[in-house]
Amino acid sequence: MHTDSPPRVLVTKIGLDGHDRGSRVVATALRDAGMEVIYTPPWQDIAAVVGLAQDEDVDVIGISSLATDHLLVPKLMQALKDTGLGHIRVVVGGIVPDQDEQDLLSAGVSHVFHPGCSLQKITEEVMRLAHAAREQAPSII
Amino acid sequence: MATHNLKKSTPSETGSNAKQRWQEEYRQQIGKDKQAFNRSGIPIKPLYDAEDWDGSGHNYTLGYPGQIPMTRGIYPTMHRGRTWSQRQLIGFGVPEDYNKRVHELIKSGVTAISLIPCNSVYRGYDADCVPSELLGTCGVVLNTVDDMETCFDQVDIAQLSTAQNDPSPFTLLALLLAIAKRRGVPWTQVSGTSNQSDYISHYVANHMFFRLALPGARRVLVDHIAFTLDHVPSWNPLSVVGQHMQQAGATPAEAMAFTLSTAIQYARDCIERGLDQERFFPRFTFFFDISISMFEEIAKFRAGRRIWASIVREKFGVENPKAWRFKFHAQTSGVDLTRQQPLNNITRVTAQAIAGILGGLQSLHTDAYDEVLSVPTEDAARIAVNTQNILREEAHLTDVIDPLGGSYYIEALTDQMEEKIRTLIDKIESAGGMYQAVQDGLVQTMIGESALRFQQQIESGEQTLVGVNAYQNEVDEKTTPILERPDPAHMAAYLESLERYKRNRDQDRVRKALDNLARAANSKDENVYANVVDAALAEATHGEIVACLRDEFGDGDPLIVP
Amino acid sequence: MNSDLLVSLRAKDRSVLGRAVTVAENGGEKAERLLEIIKPLSKSAPIIGFTGTPGSGKSTLIDALVTVYRKRNLTVAVLAIDPSSPFSGGAVLGDRCRMNRHQTDGGVYIRSLSARGSVGGLSIGVSRVISVLQASDFDLILLETVGAGQSEVDVFELADVCVVVCTPNSGDDIQAIKSGILEIADILVANKSDLADADNTIKQLVLAQNLPSNKSRHVSVISTIATQGEGIENLADQISLQVEGIKEPRGKDTDMQTRRHLVRAIARQMEQNLLNEDNPKIDQLCASIINGEMNTNEAVSIWINHQTTRKTKS
């Protein structure tokens, strides 16, 4: 595995909401922590996110949800599995009610970050997850 | 009994000696004094006195309410005469759900209604084009004339002012005009505001309201203003929005400056289209965020009023005094609210609302305390409304007009905010105006930097957030509001009714109306918005109208700036 | 396993391709093994370089161009390189999704590359990645850079056809583009030609192609409105003409270009070596500079003398 190169993280928003202040701030923090961030505008659909994750060979996908767009994340988890990208870790940040958080975790989401969570905690967790993802990524040679 | 004769107690020292002594005592007792800054970066002193503002320029900088320079308010009576409109944002589920809430709110004393459509509507799609999980979770699904009819069933639309949260191409107003026509209500009696008409703010803040490519949005807005001036004269076609930018991270001074720059841009566009500035300026309204930085917000609004009056009067030479009025709606800022110990948010919203009221707002929305946890629940929304009722009717905030006017601090701060705002407006002007500046990403870069700076201040503890970086509870209590999600059966029934609607209408008439709309988009002589209204009258749906214009003008592609 | 890899690459299996690009980009022994494996597959799709300052609309232009190529049934790989981005290389931000409409099209592969991860300099990393894309049988490879900095000039020199994108209202654009890039441009695009001042830009561009070093070549100037897809077909045609052109015997210019490219690549590799290896002589020179015994220029002379004598001895 290419464990020595910087983690690659896709920071994106799926669904209908566009508020992207949070995802931008987080993307900057991840970059400052030495990660390579692929940042997209909001309103991605699931197929596009899966395609991006493949093309960019990312270790972690961060989904920002300020409205109710996190309700689509279980579908994303399934699509990643179906495409053989089960090793990629997915985290969700934003406004996620407790009931929904349980649903996301059971769908395979690694972590849900709530408002007020420090950037340091987010970067540490994403870094840890990225390394775990690489351990599991299938080798091509 | 001791006598307290104030006249006899004379100061023991002369003024300058007294100040010097205070300065020494202050230095001795304060220990390590940290330089304070407000969110806009203005240094804040521990005390203000006549050296900071001596009142000598009173007539130029302060004046009287309803008079130039407008600092103290845009009407002679302000809140003593008429308090602000209580405008609560509502929208949830299917049109029937919305109608129920409207009736409840009217009963609870609300005088104006804001309509929040579902995010699918915001993005410009009909309900049958988006993932069904998301429908109605953030606003009401509303695609057709029939839906609008249901939303305002048993509501007198000639009496109720409605703010339609309705971005370009303003399909919701078109649907409202269509039901007015059905009910025989003349369009001259339809009043309210196109709340989301400021496409530049949508572009900057990457809002879901951004539907059409910039040049198309620019065209439709001017046509919308022209159309309503002629046909719906009580309608405010333009609300220039500072709220999106401040929510996206702009400082209060930046938000005010960018909003005024945007208004200048729209005014120029209207003039270029040949509209009469004496007529359109009075219909411009504004919409701002109120953060918890109280005095800064008050100064922001006072400075904004003064700058706007001077721009309209001096820069554009508009003579109609109504045009000089800086009418604004404000919403308490969701960014200041915390997930931790959520009931604390009621206090935050109260402080924010006081700042807005003392700043002289015309209309107010107070956030529900649970907004950070989920889409607001009914109970929380009721507390938000009552926060306004208490402030208006119990707290004696409305007895005196501009009660902080003449305070050394407020006046000095208002002057400093004005200077800061004007410098930023000049910067945008020299970048070629707001339209050019957002196309180049200049504004977005500045906002991004401010957002990051603020987050770093929280992380470093420089900015206290109760429950987040101070006064935390040992164990974070579980915060479980009762989640309201639309009833799936209702939503399924809605989708069926939408399908029926699309099947049963006069298809030729719809097709013709959409063809006309496409043609108008490509012709400089036609009014695009008049054709949007015609399409709604011909029973074209919201999504069909937006799609037609997207084909002609192009999609709203976001610009992401590092 | 190796033959599986070849088959997957050739079929443009997105996951395999994505991972292969990472391996190539990172360099080292694994990358060498990969390049060895894919060698038999390599063909030579033309490489088209695009540069222009942020805001010139080059991403939108590439997006529109990809649409045209897809209509012509050509498969396309796009490498977006942004070493100067504050988002640490990899991130190409909004640009990434200007091209979003191609995201679910199997005939298009888009990848953001960072400068950081690549051992041996950006252009060496990029050329390894290009080998992977060649093995994956794309018809065209588009390289996007922001045109700032020497490392980008190096990357740009990997391209067979070089396109420089400019806009009206920003005459500084042309000056801002690293000199060296304009000299190797084959096509100059005046994008957003619907804006005021477009004529002036086009004039400036026409003047620019009379730079002394360009005299021996024909540089075409094309105006486009990428957001509306105008002029894009014409651009695609011009690119094809230039691609045909490269098959002709190479002129003096190309020799010079190759030489410049080689020398820079050597310099870059040596820089990496000297920075990373233990070298007592370098340490000694650094110490002397820090102590104020000599300046950097003097140290350079001593180093070059030292190198020459060492070679003569051996």
Summarised one tens digit per residue, pLDDT across range B229-242 is 999 999 999 999 99
In a domain, B455, yes or no: no
A83-130: pLDDT as tens digits: 999 999 999 999 888 889 999 999 999 999 988 788 999 999 999 999
Q: Chain A within 8 Å of C135 (Cβ-Cβ)?
A: no
Closest approach of A141 to chain C, Cα-based (Å): 7
Backbone phi and psi for residue B286, each to the nearest 5 degrees, phi listed first: -130, 160
Pick the more confident residue, B74 or C260: B74
Per mean pLDDT, which range of B166-180, B275-289, C174-188, C230-244 is the poorest?
C174-188
In a domain, A1, yes or no: no
The residue with tokens 């197929």 is: A47
B561 and C94 within 8 Å at the Cβ level: the answer is yes
| CATH code assigned at A29 | 3.40.50.280
Q: Where are the alpha helices (DSSP H) in chain A?
A: 21-32, 46-56, 73-82, 98-106, 119-136
Parts of chain C with a pLDDT under 50 = 83-98, 117-120, 214-215, 250
Which 8-state DSSP code applies to residue A14?
B
Domain span including residue A69: 8-135
pLDDT at C3: 77
Most confident listed range (B284-298, B359-373, C69-83, C125-139): B284-298
In a domain, A3, yes or no: no
pLDDT at A35: 86
pLDDT at B460: 83
pLDDT at C175: 56
User: Using CB atoms, which chains have 3+ pairs under 8 A with A?
Assistant: B, C
- Pairwise CA distance, residues A13 & B478, whole Å: 26
Closest CA to B333 of B367, B299, B378, B285: B367
Closest approach of A137 to chain B, Cα-based (Å): 30
pLDDT at C19: 94
| CATH code assigned at B252 | 3.20.20.240
In a domain, A140, yes or no: no
The residue with tokens 């409840």 is: B104
B134 and A120 within 8 Å at the Cβ level: the answer is no
Which 8-state DSSP code applies to residue A68?
S
Domain span including residue B225: 58-446
Interface of B with C (CB under 8 A): 213, 432, 436, 439-441, 554, 557-562
Chain C residues in contact with A13 (beta carbon < 8 A)? none
pLDDT at C221: 83
B489-510: pLDDT as tens digits: 999 999 999 999 999 999 999 9
A41 and B206 within 8 Å at the Cβ level: the answer is yes
Residue A69 CB neighbour total at 10 angstroms: 27
In a domain, A122, yes or no: yes
Number of domains in chain B: 1
Specify whether domain C2-250 bears CATH 3.30.420.40. no
CA nearest to A19 within chain B:
B207
Closest approach of B37 to chain C, Cα-based (Å): 27
User: Using CB atoms, which chains have 3+ pairs under 8 A with C?
Assistant: A, B
Closest approach of C5 to chain A, Cα-based (Å): 7
In a domain, B403, yes or no: yes
Using CB atoms, pick whichever of C55, C85, C91 lies closest to residue B441.
Answer: C55
C15 and A83 within 8 Å at the Cβ level: the answer is yes
Using CB atoms, pick whichever of A21, A39, A71 lies closest to residue B134.
Answer: A71
Closest CA to B486 of A71, A43, A107, A17: A71
Contacts of B344 (CB under 8 A, 6+ apart): B338, B466, B467
Given a cut of 60, whether residue B316 has pLDDT beyond it is: yes
The residue with tokens 């909001």 is: A42
Strand pairing class (C140-145; C161-166): unpaired
Do B209 and B192 contact (CB within 8 A), yes or no? Answer: no
Do C9 and C132 contact (CB within 8 A), yes or no? Answer: yes
Three-state DSSP state, A125:
helix
C1 and A141 within 8 Å at the Cβ level: the answer is yes
A16 and B375 within 8 Å at the Cβ level: the answer is no
Per mean pLDDT, which range of B416-430, B525-539, C96-110, C128-142 is the poorest?
C96-110
- Pairwise CA distance, residues C148 & C137, whole Å: 30
Chain C residues in contact with A48 (beta carbon < 8 A)? 100, 103-104
| 3-state SS record for chain C | CHHHHHHHHHCCCHHHHHHHHHHHHHCHHHHHHHHHHHHHHCCCCCEEEEECCCCCCHHHHHHHHHHHHHHCCCCEEEEEECCCCCCCCCCCHHHHHHCHHHCCCCCEEEEEECCCCCCCCHHHHHHHHHHHHHHCCCCEEEEEECCCCHHHHHHHCCCCEEEEEECCCCCHHHHHCCCCHHHHCCEEEECCCCCCCHHHHHHHHHHHCCCHHHCCCCCEEEECEHHHCECHHHHHHHHHHHHHHHCCCCCHHHHHHHHHHHHHHHHHHHHHHHHHCCCHHHHHHHHHHHCCCCCHHHHHHHHHHHHHHHHHHC
C14 and A54 within 8 Å at the Cβ level: the answer is yes
Interface of A with C in 72-111 (CB under 8 A): 83-85
Number of domains in chain A: 1
Given a cut of 80, whether residue B10 has pLDDT beyond it is: no
| Predicted TM-score (pTM) of this structure | 0.78
C96 and A39 within 8 Å at the Cβ level: the answer is yes
What's the average model confidence in pLDDT over B345-373? 93
Given a cut of 50, whether residue B515 has pLDDT beyond it is: yes
User: Using CB atoms, which chains have 3+ pairs under 8 A with B?
Assistant: A, C
What's the average model confidence in pLDDT over B517-538? 96
Backbone phi and psi for residue C141, each to the nearest 5 degrees, phi listed first: -125, 120
Chain B residues in contact with C98 (beta carbon < 8 A)? 557
pLDDT at C220: 81
C96 and A38 within 8 Å at the Cβ level: the answer is yes
Predicted-complex ipTM score: 0.89
- Pairwise CA distance, residues B402 & C165, whole Å: 55
pLDDT at B64: 94
